[in-house]
Amino acid sequence: MIRKLEHKDKENWAKLYNGYADFYKVSMNSAILDTIWGWIHDETHDVNAICFELEGKIVGIAHYRTMPRPIKGQYIGFLDDLFVEPEFRGQKIAQKLISHLKSLSKANNWDGIRWITSTLLIKMQRNYTIK
């Protein structure tokens, strides 16, 4: 099931986000996690988050935001972070999260979704159609 992150999800979300940071070799600490968590739950902030819940456990997360696209005079969705727990990969969870973002794109009249990722993931990213 895909849903917005809730306050009760912080510990599970932090575990996943630490995994994401480890993959990109970025140092993570509680101050950064608290800041991001605050952004996610601040309705005036640009950062939003969804999760994929399986049997009561969050196994995938996506952070996204609205971003202007000046060349078209329109807004787009921007996928900042996408992570699925390693033991749940291969179950199309990332694709389901991206499909949900595509639905949000249509609902918000965005001109598609952008995503920048590691060169290690370029081959995997080609499997996802996100416009």
Does the pLDDT value for residue 32 go beyond 70?
yes
Residues 66, 68: Cα–Cα separation, whole Å? 7
Does the pLDDT value for residue 77 go beyond 70?
yes
Does the pLDDT value for residue 106 go beyond 60?
yes
Domain 2-125 in CATH: superfamily?
Gcn5-related N-acetyltransferase (GNAT) (3.40.630.30)
Segment 49-54 mean pLDDT: 98
Query: What radius of gyration do the chain's Cα atoms show?
Result: 14
Contact 49, 77 (CB under 8 A): no
Strands 74-84, 57-69: parallel, antiparallel or unpaired by DSSP? antiparallel
User: CA angle at residue 80 from 78 to 82, to 5 degrees?
Assistant: 115
- Nearest by Cα to 38 from 14, 3, 66, 2: 14
* pTM (2 d.p.): 0.87
Segment 102-123 mean pLDDT: 81
